[in-house]
Amino acid sequence: MYSGGIFDIPGKESRLKELESKINDPALWNNPAEARSVTQESSRLRRVVENYKKLESNLQGLLELWPELSTEEQSGFQAELDQAADKLEELYHETLLSFPYAENAAIITIKPGAGGTEACDWAEMLFRMYRRFAERRGFSVEVVDVTPGAEAGIDYAQFIVRGENAYGMLLPEAGVHRLVRPSPFNSQGKRQTSFAGLEVMPEVDESVNVEIRPEDLRIDVMRAQGHGGQGVNTTDSAVRVVHLPTGLVVTCQTTRSQQKNKEMAMNVLRSRLFEIEYKKKQEELARLRGESRPIEWGSQIRSYVLDKQYVKDHRTGEMRFDPDQVLDGDLEDLVWAGLEWKAGRRQAVAAGDEE
């Protein structure tokens, strides 16, 4: 079997040697964040290399034996071949998740775009869609904050998805999502277009060096409201943390414990500050390479056209003709296509269906 191409086993083995050299350097362990990053990357690469070589060895043995087998005997190995194909696909998926923090939990923020009630309703539909996707994959969902819309839907939602490679799986979903449908809020059922934005960032913990000085914080406590439920609403348990230097505001009101809400809000704030610094570094590297970075907001990554019964991802060209299933969280093929696009292994087909 060829070990180059998308798997690039020689390249991974070379990188593993570099990482092992770093791991053996005592100076690495003076920086917990870097040590964690190095060991995680090393573990991820070693798993891919070892599994690939094991699969290669098994298939090589079968190929050598194959000419000596009768047709009936060959058919008896079909299950083994199918299993090998599944394992190869799993390995391929692992190569798509080989980027920083892919294994972390994902903090997701949903905000409606312009459009009032329609957009708020669309934001709530997306909120449900990603919670259903998480359930389908066996992930857990921890709601940080939800603000109801004035008439329907939600004006804001933030939640944390925890599970194997949660951030890696959800990162390609970040961007603007567009809904086209006959309006349920219009007596004439007029066709309406709505937008909502999805932000995805990795959750980081105290091991990642993010400086948060106590004097830079303003912490307010208040009465919880909205989706928290009556038990939450009767106490001053909601916490709002304001980071004065950046103006970042994080609110958490989903538990009865003021302390737990504060801890969750601080965790989200730490992740947001980390994301800001990480993006600055990436933008500086892109500038030094002479690259231009597109402005993502305002250019939809995916359209959900309900009256014509299709969903299209504008980056990958992936099409689905069962929008009800997609909105119920059946996103696997769209997500993997998005990861292929992010890895530069997939390009969108020519668009011509902009509704």
| CATH code of 269's domain | 3.30.160.20
Q: Which residues contact 96 (CB under 8 A, 6 or more apart)?
A: 168, 336, 339, 340, 342, 343, 345
Looking at 43, 66, 96, which one is the last position of a domain? Answer: 96
Does the pLDDT at position 282 exceed 70? no
Residue 245, domain member (yes or no): yes
Residue 353 counted as domain residue? no
pLDDT score at 283 = 67
In a domain, 151, yes or no: yes
Helix (H, G, I), strand (E, B) or coil at 201: strand
Strand duo 175-182 + 300-305: pairing: parallel
Clarify whether residues 313 and 164 are in a common domain.
yes
pLDDT tens by residue, 177-187: 999 999 998 87
Within-domain flag for 355? no
Same domain (yes/no): 13, 80: yes
Does residue 352 belong to any structural domain of this protein?
Answer: no
Is 276 a residue whose pLDDT tops 90?
Answer: no
Residue of higher predicted confidence among 245 and 115: 245
In terms of domains, do 44 and 165 share one?
A: no
The residue from 242, 270, 288 where one domain ends is 288
Q: How confident is the model at residue 126 (pLDDT cuts 50, 70, 90)?
A: very high
Q: Is residue 47 part of a domain?
A: yes
Q: What residues make up the domain containing 146?
A: 106-206+298-342
Both 274 and 302 in a single domain? no
Whole-structure pTM over 0.85, yes or no?
A: no
Distance CA 122, CA 128 (A): 10
- For residues 224 and 264, membership in a common domain is answered with yes
Same domain, 306 and 170: yes
What does the alpha-carbon distance between residue 290 and residue 263 come to, in Å, rounded to a whole number?
40
Residue 176 sits in the same domain as residue 255 = no
Strand (E) or helix (H) holding 293: none
Output DSSP code: residue 160: E
Residues 64 and 118 in one domain: no
- Structure token pair of residue 162: 């925890």
3-state DSSP assignment of residue 334? helix
Helix (H, G, I), strand (E, B) or coil at 58: helix
Percentage of the residues of the chain whose pLDDT score is greater than 90: 40
Supply 315's token pair. Answer: 């980056």
Per-residue pLDDT at 213 exceeds 50: yes
Q: Which residue has the tokens 């219009």?
A: 186
User: In this predicted structure, which of 96-100, 208-212, 314-318, 350-354 has the lowest mean pLDDT?
Assistant: 350-354
In a domain, 228, yes or no: yes
DSSP reduced 3-state for 268: helix
pLDDT mean over 26-33: 83
pLDDT > 50? residue 259 = yes
Q: If pLDDT is split at 50, 70 and 90, which confidence band does 285 have?
A: low
Segment 332-347 mean pLDDT: 89
| The pLDDT value given to residue 292 | 41
Q: What CATH code is carried by the domain that includes residue 29?
A: 1.20.58.410
For tokens 């913990």, the residue is: 205
Output the pLDDT for position 170.
96
* Tally of CB atoms within 10 A around 213: 9
The dihedral over CA atoms of 114, 267, 257, 108, expressed in degrees to the nearest 10, equals 30
pLDDT in tens, 64-73: 777 777 777 7
Rounded Cα distance between 4 and 10, Å, is 7
- Separation between Cα atoms, residue 331 and residue 328, nearest integer Å: 9
**What is the model's pLDDT at position 9?**
83
Structural domains of the chain, count = 3
Mean pLDDT of 266-278: 86
**The domain boundary residue, chosen from 64, 96, 128:** 96
Kindly state whether residues 229 and 310 are assigned to the same domain: no
CATH number, domain with residue 315: 3.30.70.1660
Report the percentage of the chain scoring pLDDT > 70: 86
Domain match, 69 and 130 both: no
- Tell me whether residue 34 is in a domain: yes
Do 92 and 196 belong together in one domain?
no
* Judgement on whether residues 191 and 113 belong to the same structural domain of the protein: yes
Sign of CA dihedral 257, 258, 261, 267: negative
